[in-house]
Amino acid sequence: MPVHEHIYGFDLIPETKRGSKLMMVDLDSTEVETLEFMSAFIRRTHPAVVIECGTYIGVGAVFLGNAVKANGEGHVWSVESNSEIISASRELIKEKGLSEFVTVVEGNTLEVDLPEPPYGVVFHDAEREPVHLTKELERFACNLTEDGISFIHDSALNWWFQDVRTTVSDFAKQNGMNHFTIHSARGLEMLQRSGSNGS
Ligand SMILES: C[S@@+](CC[C@H](N)C(=O)[O-])C[C@H]1O[C@@H](n2cnc3c(N)ncnc32)[C@H](O)[C@@H]1O
């Protein structure tokens, strides 16, 4: 299989070149395959409001923003608490021509002002400590559109955070939500309202 070093205008870090099972632009950004997966969901469901918890340098926001741009409707609100990297993410979003589609909001995911629910897609990629994650799920996953999904990243048991899958599973049981696990290198959990019909 040919190996490429660039994808979507980004350089891939050497150990995860295209052709491997995990393509990454940066060690702390989301792997390309998971961003493509969520982008496809956004393209399919045309959400009005997309929330990203944890912007970092903006790589995920660029993928989500491109999907919203391709839809011709909707907006991404990406929340970041580290004031030192906010300008880097805004710069990247501007460089990629996505300022109209993505807004980076500075603050804590549990506290910042955001558009009123419901939320069509939520990407939980900030703190994964169980108490914080549960509060994030209460704020966002409990307020999804009928066909909306909360994606919770980095849930693989051999990855950095140990309790993500259990936290999501407990939350789903307590709130009567559907819970799916994508068994991938870093792991991804998905929550959807039970009885969703989709559209
Ligand atoms: C893994 S990085 C996010 C990567 C990004 N989602 C992407 O796909 O490129 C996690 C980010 O979440 C931020 N963060 C951690 N706790 C947070 C909180 N409570 N509220 C907002 N941002 C937070 C960190 O500062 C860090 O930049």
What's the pLDDT tens digit per position in 119-160?
A: 999 999 999 899 999 999 999 999 999 999 999 999 987 666
Ligand 1 centroid from CA 48, angstroms:
22
> Do the bridges between strand 188-193 and strand 177-182 make them parallel or antiparallel, or are there none, so unpaired?
antiparallel
Ligand 1 in contact with 109 (CB < 6 A)?
yes
Return the pLDDT at 16.
76
Measure the CA–CA gap between 108 and 106, rounded to whole angstroms. Answer: 7
CA of 3: how far to CAs of 26, 85, 184, in Å? Answer: 17, 31, 20
Q: Which domains does the chain have, with CATH numbers?
A: 6-193 (3.40.50.150)
Ligand 1 in contact with 81 (CB < 6 A)?
yes
Among residues 154, 147, 140, 156, which one has the least CA distance to residue 178?
Answer: 147
Ligand 1 centroid from CA 53, angstroms:
6
Ligand 1 in contact with 166 (CB < 6 A)?
no
pTM for the whole thing? 0.95
Low-confidence ranges of the chain (pLDDT < 50): 1
Return the ligand 1 atom nearest residue 127 CA.
16
Backbone angles phi, psi at 72, to 5 degrees: 80, 15
Ligand 1 in contact with 31 (CB < 6 A)?
no
Among residues 75, 64, 62, which one has the least CA distance to residue 42?
Answer: 64
Measure the CA–CA gap between 110 and 114, rounded to whole angstroms. Answer: 10
